[in-house]
């Protein structure tokens, strides 16, 4: 009883859409970054499903690199959030609407 690859893809699309909803709807920049992580996870899931389907390990290599980039992105992004919070004392994206102050 093998799970069909289409099930994995459907779940991946659903998780990606959920993450996209979060990015578009939420105001808190921390939650927006978490939703970006969820979208990256959804893409990873599709990679893994195809790697299992085609019995090729290359897909898992890509997940490995995506995870590394995600870790780097989170580190830099959270540092940016801290820097912005120090200047503006807010984490709501609709209050951060000017590029220079």
Q: Which of residues 41-100 bind other proteins (CB under 8 A)?
A: 41, 44-45, 48-49, 51-58, 60-61, 63-65, 67-76, 78-83, 85-86, 91-92, 94
In angstroms, what is the minimal distance from the CB of 98 to other proteins?
A: 18
Contacts of 19 by beta carbon, 8 Å cutoff, 6+ apart:
35, 36, 37, 38, 39, 42
Strand partners, 28: 92
State the Cα torsion 22-23-28-31 to the nearest 10°: 60
Q: How far is the CB of 81 from other proteins (least distance, A)?
A: 6
Least Å distance between CB 13 and other proteins? 5
With vertex at residue 45, the alpha carbon angle to CA 47 and CA 51, rounded to the nearest 5 degrees, is 35
Which lies closer to other proteins via its Cβ, residue 34 or residue 96? 34
Q: Is 2 in the site for other proteins (CB under 8 A)?
A: yes
């Amino acid at each position: 009883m093998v799970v069909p690859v289409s099930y994995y893809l459907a779940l991946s699309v659903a998780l990606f859409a959920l993450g996209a909803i979060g990015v578009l709807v939420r105001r808190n920049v921390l939650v927006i970054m978490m939703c970006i992580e969820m979208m990256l996870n959804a893409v990873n899931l599709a990679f893994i499903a195809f790697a299992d389907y085609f019995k090729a390990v290359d897909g898992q290599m890509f997940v490995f690199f995506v995870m590394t980039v995600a870790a780097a992105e989170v580190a830099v992004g959270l540092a940016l959030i801290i820097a912005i919070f120090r200047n503006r004392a807010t984490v709501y994206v609709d209050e951060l609407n000017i590029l220079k102050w």
